[in-house]
Amino acid sequence: MSHPHPELGPPPALPEGGLRIVALGGLGEIGRNMAVFEYEGRLLIVDCGVLFPEPDQPGVDLILPDFEYIRDRLDDIEAVVLTHAHEDHIGAVPYLLRERRNIPLIGSRLTLALIEAKLTEHRIQPTKHEVVEGERHRFGPFDCEFLAVNHSIPDALAVAIRTPAGIVLHTGDFRMDQLPSDGRLTDLGGFARLGTEGVDLLMSDSTNAEVPGFVTSEREIGPVIDEVIRTSEQRVIVASFASHVHRIQQVMDAAARHRRKVALVGRSMVRNMGVARDLGYLKVPPDLIVDARDIEEWPPKDVVLVCTGSQGEPMAALSRMANRDHPIRIAEGDTVLLASSLVPGNETAVNKVINGLTRWGARVVHKGNAKVHVSGHAAAGELLYVLNLTRPSNFMPVHGEWRHLRAHAKLAALTGVPDDHIVIAEDGVVVDLVDGRAKIVGAVHAGYVYVDGSSVGEITDTSLKDRRILGDEGFISVVVVVDSSTGKLTAGPEIHARGSGIDPQQFDEFIPQIQRALEEKAADGVVDMQEIRRVVRRTVGRWVSDTYRRRPMIIPVILEV
């Protein structure tokens, strides 16, 4: 198997007739999916998503792919193909369009409608090209065929990219639900036809490569949701991804059967379900929906609330309910249904929300105690099926953490793909498809770009390290006044501490140590302010470490007279 190496340098020029693939996100992580294809100097992008921050990234709202690799070549981009409308595949599109607003967006009807609704908030009017499964369209040198795939959102697509270098099949996110609630099956016949034609490189979703067998059908969730709503004596509050139209449909159907009204809570939930309803993807029975602001007018036993926050997001509706920071107050006897998977890394946040809801008397139904979720990603049995249908000459696992990529690579080897034709890459690694062989040829920078409020890219890893120190250890500021010509101390030091856990009175005993250290430097003729700052920082740091075994941030403030 070919795999990345930390010593990889910049890639050579792309050979004539070759196809270059560079993933700027989605390899070695769950999210931030973005792949750049290059042929004859032209670029095609597949997906442009975001990654959600982890607890060790305080203050960060979103993590974007780094566009530096393509920033000088924005005019070479033919189009952005969007496989489906999940945030980890479309969330970074507004930030890419800030760089060039007229990049054509290619996708299915629902995908484009949801991204257009998102772009409205960014005051961007996109250039759109709607496609449906079975169609072929050319974007510059890229001949793209679109195939239906079943996923946890309607209208998902795979894309086969044809160039003279060969055929690349990019599955997007998919599963092989044989009884999908919307009747839309993954196009296995199309995959097989491509396999007969000859797939030179298969890029396939790896998220569930470690899970044996086949994913359970979405239809099996319906009876569980129905039972929860039927047996609940008070309000039912369902938390789901704001894009999971199939799941929300099942909730609405069950609510209608049991004569309950449904209120949508949360801006993204209201926006997405409104789009899905207008386009006919969500079938809403007459008089079912009521405004969330009027919910108190209805008896609790006649209400179902559908909200965001199934991942424990701090500002989402469910988290705010758990913290008593939302107009909707959780009451004794309410039932909360977490109808989504648990994204890796969110376990602590979700458990905190469950505990908060339980504290106020709610019964919480989740994946751990009921069959309330099935994955939208193909398990190992389905991945093997696709490998055998397409019989690729080369294979590159995508969309997953390292363990998922390696597990998927092993499946490919079992189906007969030679080890030296299996490419395990990570973000930024450059893969060239030349003369029927896919090989790693170098690497480009593909780091994280952090969104913090209105700032994009201004927060660095150093900034996050400082935030973690401040959050864990607090800070100590030391103000001293020195003579700029002699370096002698003329006033201070004055010490202030926040969050350090140190009794301020203890500083009175320590101040003479700082004074002595500064006097010694002044006696040595030191007048450089940077050196004086270092003396203060080292002296305070050593004392705090020796006395309290702590390492707060130390901020020397040197005033010159």
pLDDT digits (tens, 9 = 90+) for 68-88: 999 999 999 999 999 999 999
Q: Which of 1-10, 92-101, 146-155 has the lowest mean pLDDT?
A: 1-10
Residue 207 has pLDDT above 70, yes or no: yes
pLDDT at 479: 86
Name the residue type at position 181.
S
**CA 51, CA 33: separation in Å to the nearest integer?**
8
Residue 447 has pLDDT above 60, yes or no: yes
Q: Are residues 161 and 81 in the same domain?
A: yes
Confidence of residue 508 (pLDDT cuts 50, 70, 90): confident
Mean per-residue pLDDT, 241-249: 88
- Pick the most confident of 87-96, 464-473, 551-560: 87-96
| Residue 129 assigned as binding residue | no
Task: Please state, for a pLDDT cut of 70, what percent of the chain lies above it.
Answer: 94
Instruction: Let me know if residue 2 belongs to a domain.
Output: no
CB neighbour class for 317 (10 Å; exposed up to 12, middle 13-18, buried from 19): buried
pLDDT at 346: 63
pLDDT at 236: 94
Instruction: Let me know if residue 10 belongs to a domain.
Output: no
pLDDT digits over 107-122, tens only?
999 999 999 988 988 8
Mean per-residue pLDDT, 94-114: 95
Task: Please state, for a pLDDT cut of 90, what percent of the chain lies above it.
Answer: 54
| Residue 151 assigned as binding residue | yes
For tokens 């033919």, the residue is 78
pLDDT at 518: 79
Q: Which of the two residues, 290 and 54, has the higher pLDDT score?
A: 290
pLDDT at 345: 58
CB neighbour class for 209 (10 Å; exposed up to 12, middle 13-18, buried from 19): buried
Residue 344 has pLDDT above 70, yes or no: no
User: CATH code at 242?
Assistant: 3.40.50.10710
| Residue 170 assigned as binding residue | no
CB distance 476 to 555 below 8 Å: yes
Count the residues in the chain: 561
**CA 201, CA 169: separation in Å to the nearest integer?**
6
Q: Are residues 391 and 334 in the same domain?
A: no
| Residue 59 assigned as binding residue | yes
**CA 437, CA 439: separation in Å to the nearest integer?**
6
Q: Are residues 359 and 228 in the same domain?
A: yes
Catalytic annotation, residues: 205, 377
Region label for 41, one of left (φ > 0), alpha (ψ between -120 and 50) or beta (otherwise): left
pLDDT at 292: 87
Last residue of a domain, one of 306, 333, 365: 365
Residues 6+ apart with CB under 8 A from 406: 397, 424
**Which residues form the domain of 527?**
461-560
Q: Identify the CA nearest to 34 among candidates 2, 63, 3, 75.
A: 63
Please name the residue ranges forming H helices in 42-99.
Answer: 68-71, 87-90, 93-99
Residue 5 has pLDDT above 90, yes or no: no
Name the residue type at position 85.
A
Q: Identify the CA nearest to 426 among candidates 406, 407, 411, 412.
A: 406
Instruction: Let me know if residue 1 belongs to a domain.
Output: no
Instruction: Let me know if residue 337 belongs to a domain.
Output: yes
Confidence of residue 231 (pLDDT cuts 50, 70, 90): very high
Q: Which of 57-61, 220-224, 352-356, 378-382 has the lowest mean pLDDT?
A: 57-61
Instruction: Let me know if residue 283 belongs to a domain.
Output: yes
Q: Are residues 531 and 442 in the same domain?
A: no
Cβ atoms < 10 Å from Cβ of 447: 14
Q: Are residues 432 and 484 in the same domain?
A: no
SS3 assignment, position 462: helix
Q: Are residues 63 and 197 in the same domain?
A: yes
Q: Are residues 432 and 508 in the same domain?
A: no
Q: Phi then psi for 548, rounded to 5 degrees?
A: -120, -5
Q: Are residues 182 and 43 in the same domain?
A: yes
CB distance 228 to 250 below 8 Å: no
Mean per-residue pLDDT, 186-206: 97
| Residue 377 assigned as binding residue | yes
Mean per-residue pLDDT, 167-173: 97
**CA 108, CA 245: separation in Å to the nearest integer?**
15
Last residue of a domain, one of 431, 457, 483: 457
Q: Which of 16-25, 252-261, 507-516 has the lowest mean pLDDT?
A: 507-516
Q: Which of the two residues, 165 and 315, has the higher pLDDT score?
A: 165
pLDDT digits over 380-425, tens only?
999 999 999 999 999 999 999 999 999 999 999 999 999 999 999 9
pLDDT at 460: 73
pLDDT at 313: 65
Q: Are residues 405 and 499 in the same domain?
A: no
Q: Could you tell me the two tokens for 294?
A: 């009027």
Instruction: Let me know if residue 13 belongs to a domain.
Output: no
| Residue 375 assigned as binding residue | yes
Residue 434 has pLDDT above 90, yes or no: yes
| Residue 496 assigned as binding residue | no
Last residue of a domain, one of 457, 474, 497: 457
Q: Are residues 76 and 151 in the same domain?
A: yes
User: CATH code at 536?
Assistant: 3.10.20.580
Q: Are residues 472 and 418 in the same domain?
A: no
| Residue 413 assigned as binding residue | no
User: CATH code at 202?
Assistant: 3.60.15.10
42-46/142-148 β-pairing: unpaired
Give the residues across from 38 on adjacent strands: 20, 43
Q: Are residues 227 and 181 in the same domain?
A: no
User: How many domains does the chain fold into?
Assistant: 3
Please name the residue ranges forming H helices in 366-433.
Answer: 380-390, 402-414
Mean per-residue pLDDT, 24-46: 95
Instruction: Let me know if residue 7 belongs to a domain.
Output: no
Q: What is the mean pLDDT of the chain?
A: 88
Confidence of residue 58 (pLDDT cuts 50, 70, 90): low
Instruction: Let me know if residue 6 belongs to a domain.
Output: no
pLDDT at 293: 86
